[in-house]
Structure 1
Amino acid sequence: MLAYIHTCIHTYIHTYIHTYIHTYIHTYIHTYIHTYIHTYIHTYIHTYIHTYIHTYIHTYIHTYIHTYIHTYINTYIHTYIHTYIHTCTYIIHTYIHTYIHTYIHTYIHTYIHTYIHTYIHTYIHTYIHTYIHTYILYLSAIYIYNIYIHIYIYRQTQTYIYYNTIHTYIHTCIHVHTYIHTHHLRHVSAYIYIYIYIYIYRQTQM
């Protein structure tokens, strides 16, 4: 009898209740609730919210904000800032060409052409033509004096070696004079030394 009761109860539990759980409830969960989730909520997410994002918000971004950026801000940049840049550029450019350029051409240019140029042509040029010219003439006088001395020695001794010394002195004088002096005076000095050669030749017959 006890075994029969145990069999009936166990059968009832495994058959009715288990069937109820696996059939009705499980079916309910997998059919109704799962369908609800996949149909209603999922459809809601993909239809309403997704449509909302792609339609309203996306349209808002591409229409209002995008238009705002391309119309207002872009116009602002190209109109106000561009005008500002061109105005500032014009002011700066005008400043450069008026004030700085005038400064360069007036003050500095005048300074260069007046003070420095005058300094070069007055002081330095005078220095070159006075001091160096005097120095060259002084050297020339010394060399010419030495030439006359060697001519005198040659006449007195009739020694050929003194003529070579004279020749060396003349060439030394020419080289010094050519190195230091100006182009014009080199031509003048060349004629002087030619006459000296002629004079030496006539005096010594060498």
Structure 2
Amino acid sequence: MTPVITKASLVSMAATMMVMIYSAIGSGASAQDKVSAQANSPILTPGFASLPTDADATFAPQANTAELASMVAAEPQVQALTQDMRCLASAIYFEARSEALDGQLAVGRVIVARTKSGRFPTSYCGVVQQPSQFAFVRHNRLPDVDTNSITWKKAVVVAQLAHEGKLKSAAEGALYFHSVRSKNRWDKRIRVAQIDNHVFYR
């Protein structure tokens, strides 16, 4: 005898299937978000209270090009820079001014990460002027720069965003980087990302 499938049972089966599908999607997305948030969280070392604005970086979204460009365009230009912020902006300018904004942000975030790592000086100038770290620094001095140029002004804004941790870079957590043209081979370091012409490691 062939079982009779009523209209009511079809509706009930369809409803059950919809509940199962939406439940699976919801839990999967939730679990994936938690894993992504943990994987993208920067390594923060307690005890460095000199840069409190970066404390919320764990919850900051990863930068995307359009959002970063929008933030750079909207960020008010800082009129007077502290020496420490000038060091951070100079590193971004001299190391990455020809890179896209996300590449500039990644360089800035490396310097911020170094100040919090416990392995490098705890100020931006200390990190940037540390011997044998940045080729553009000669005799512990920063080169002169045209502070009226658009390129410098962008570097200043990116430095502010990197300092505040408003956006994470795709290379978040990296402490080192080199040009793709460099002969450096850092096999003992963990490669984090390549952004434009720089390779980032931790």
The two structures share one fold, judged by TM-score above 0.5: no
Q: Which has the higher contact order (CA 8 A, sep 6+)?
A: 2
Structure with max Cα Rg: 1
Greater strand fraction, Structure 1 or Structure 2: 2
TM-score (norm 1): 0.28
- In proportion to residue count, which structure has more helix? 1
